[in-house]
Structure 1
């Protein structure tokens, strides 16, 4: 038996600001951004429910790129999370740290949340145009089918792409969409695969520089995991590299395989995120009641550390590292995997991106531990901001 607790989490989230306003926001402010279905809990509430409440202050830090809508999203996420507490007047615990990083600039190099913008060769690896070629194999047929039912309007292939996009947006806004029923199941499978090709060859494993720009973040997280909570230190995981198995690589440009691992809808869904979790697993001692009645303290039980990756709510195994509980990866093995296998696959950021002649170019992500004071902001719960609990 193994009792686990998650004592350190790093999460990359893609959230829509309108989806995470706490319930205390006014209807006017909420109407300025698209809303998700009312029945869906906010990501901040989901995080609170999953990890349990963590007091604020220095315990909660959110790093965000500097684009205003992303900063707004991070701010509302923090406020929503902190509003779950009952200590709003406690000025040491009712707040979080928000660290704002420059967005999509070319002078931060690997030390960035948007490192692809600082890698000049990244765009040369983008071959997502293969998705356009694949769309041409099915969109005209859909247009022809629908045109049979139309009078005075003729749809073309370009219209079909936008119409299928509308299904997803309307579903996210309203919770459902009858518009989706316009298309047949096979047409949705083709639509899905076109997006898979777009992301796989644009910013996923099909781009030879995707691991290069993602690895510094993974390496920085692995180092913090090795240290553990409350410590500081002055594609990248290879999870999606294979389309079906180690012997099937990369994604076919023309023939979708239903067994493939890479599906963009798993990664880029609304409110989608990928989380790296550090698990502390303790073996439960047998017959604890007997020890208690005998007034005897059981022998100390060793705690083992493991790493788990989650895409949204689903756990995802790390290739070749599944010996832990629930196919998790032992922390020591994870660290070794990152430092060897993934480091070799990613290459050095400066060299791979052609930055050898730039004197201040760096291949390391240090923003987790080296903070520019000018980038640091304090976020407090909305109730505290509007003065409902403080005077």
Structure 2
């Protein structure tokens, strides 16, 4: 697959006239995908690792009747705040006057920092703004490949539709991902994009409910996450400082090196800084990310179920109306946090065992944030009919993830009526507007864009966030 992508990139107009990277650089591309699951959702897209082997296609003698997609934006450059921290670490390294030793020795070879234009911060990586013109891991390429995969899997649901409406938040990178996806669908589907506001004033009529939740306190359980040992970060700094006397890296610098590794892969196609880490350190960093997100954006923070209920309620309503709605494919693009909130309410990765900060729970560890929402993450809700019965199931990053308590249908799906009972139990007692104090920032308390987009033009101003 990677060789096909590189061949296509070599033939692309963007690559023409540019300096082709040296062979040694090309040989590095595609050799680091084994560490993607450990890079806190900042690395390029990868399929969910714990694949049960259940085919994504509709079971034999069954037919897809509706599909819903909630997808994350594609690979990108760091945020402005993360960029400032990365530059601080980079300046410390770039001002080192001695010869680098050990895993940092690559910096002796005319290394160029991967953030070469500050205007790229927050933005999607593209064929045009990549450091390496043959980088196959751009958000642009990811979205286009995703669109082709979507057509292969679900194209039949578009055959009788003269129009296809796609929804995206007003974040520029989310918008761009949706546009690349639409472009790759081709001209046969007359797809249009509705840009849904993610400002707090949007209230409940948003794909990004967290922005409309002033009651949300991401530090509510910091007492748990603060207890997690950062000795692994100290060890990284000590090792690099010993190899390079006078460098004076800190634990904070060590932490930023993980982000450097992940984001550089998306901008360059590979990253030599990734070789700094041992496998133990990657595991400890990955678990810290799981732990912190579990208690700020996931099952460990009770409010998150209310936040995610805003979108989950809407998706259940779309399923119930599948026969009366002309559109059979509902495609929405948003951020990783919004997908985590949604999945928390659905309950696919909540086994009721709270994560703790005292050790890595290798056996009892269901919530892997980076597995759920890598760059370009995609969560599909499938509804299919077998004979006269309908069934529902979820596909997360190419893997069918059955509902633990409801998987008796074909392909480990949930019978439709049983699914609605399951959804009702998950939504019982949840109230997004009340729990989040939405009315303090907006008078909009209902999500309506899936139903009124024909009469309301959603064209929110794009934001660099």
Please classify the TM superposition score into its range, dividing by the shorter chain length.
Answer: 0.7 to 0.9
Does structure 1 residue 344 correspond to structure 2 residue 455? no
Residue 96 of structure 1: how far off its partner (Å): 0.8
Would you tell me which structure has more helix in proportion to its own residues? 2
Deviations 1:194-233 (A, max 9, x none): 1101211111112221111111211211121122255179
Aligned-partner Cα distance in 2 for 1:8–1:352: 31
Shift of 1:355: 4.9
Unaligned runs of 5+ in 1: 20-28, 282-301, 378-391
User: Which stretch of structure 1 is more off in the superposition, 250-259 or 352-361?
Assistant: 352-361
Residue of structure 2 aligned with 1:208, choices 302, 315, 321: 302
Report matched runs for 1:44-123 at 5 Å: 44-52=147-155, 54-55=158-159, 58-81=162-185, 83=186, 88=187, 93-105=188-200, 107-123=201-217
Q: Following TM superposition, by how much is the alpha carbon of 1:315 offset from its aligned partner in structure 2, in angstroms?
A: 1.3
Say whether 1:224 aligns with 2:318: yes
Cα distance in 2 for residues equivalent to 1:64 and 1:304: 32
Indicate how the Cα distance of structure 1 residues 6 and 132 shifts in structure 2: closer, same or farther if over 3 A, else same. farther
- For residues 72-101 of structure 1, what are the alpha-carbon distances to aligned partners after superposition, in whole Å with 9 as ceiling and x for unaligned? 2211211111x2xxxx4xxxx541131111
Shift of the 185–353 alpha-carbon distance from structure 1 to 2, 3 Å rule, reads same
Q: Distance in 1 between matches of 2:367 and 2:395?
A: 14
Cα deviations across residues 81-134 of structure 1 (Å, max 9, x unaligned)? 1x2xxxx4xxxx5411311111132x3322211111212212267435754542
Counterpart of 2:362 (choices 258, 263, 267) is 258
> Residue by residue, what CA displacement relative to the aligned partner does 1:30-68 show, whole Å, maximum 9, x if unpaired?
313675438967221221222235349655221111122
Contact 1:138 1:190 in 2 (8 A): yes
* 1:2-21 correspondence to structure 2 within 5 Å: 2-16=60-74
Equivalent residue, structure 2, for 1:294? none
In structure 2, do the counterparts of structure 1 residues 357 and 161 end up closer, same or farther at CA, with 3 Å as the change threshold? closer
Note the aligned Cα RMSD (angstroms).
3.1
Counterpart-to-counterpart distance in 1, 2:375 and 2:441: 37
- CA distance in structure 2 between the partners assigned to 1:16 and 1:185 by the alignment: 26
Corresponding residue number in structure 2 for 1:183: 277
Residue 47 of structure 2 is matched in structure 1 by none
2:348 aligned residue (225, 236, 239): 239
Distance between the aligned counterparts of 2:285 and 2:76, measured in 1? 26
Distance 1:359 1:157, change over 3 A: closer
Distance in 2 separating the partners of 1:231 and 1:258: 44
Query: Aligned residue for 2:410?
Result: 325
In structure 2, runs of 5+ residues without a counterpart are 1-58, 78-125, 328-343, 461-465
2:80 alignment partner in structure 1? none
TM-score (norm 1): 0.75
How far apart, in 2, do the equivalents of 1:42 and 1:129 lie? 42
Q: CA deviation at 1:335?
A: 1.2
In 2, Cα distance between equivalents of 1:210 and 1:168: 27
Provide the C-alpha distance between the structure 2 equivalents of 1:126 and 1:42, rounded to a whole number of angstroms: 39
The 3 A distance-change label for structure 1 pair 37 and 64 is closer
Q: How far apart are 1:359 and its partner, in Å?
A: 9.2
Change (3 A) 1:232 1:116: farther
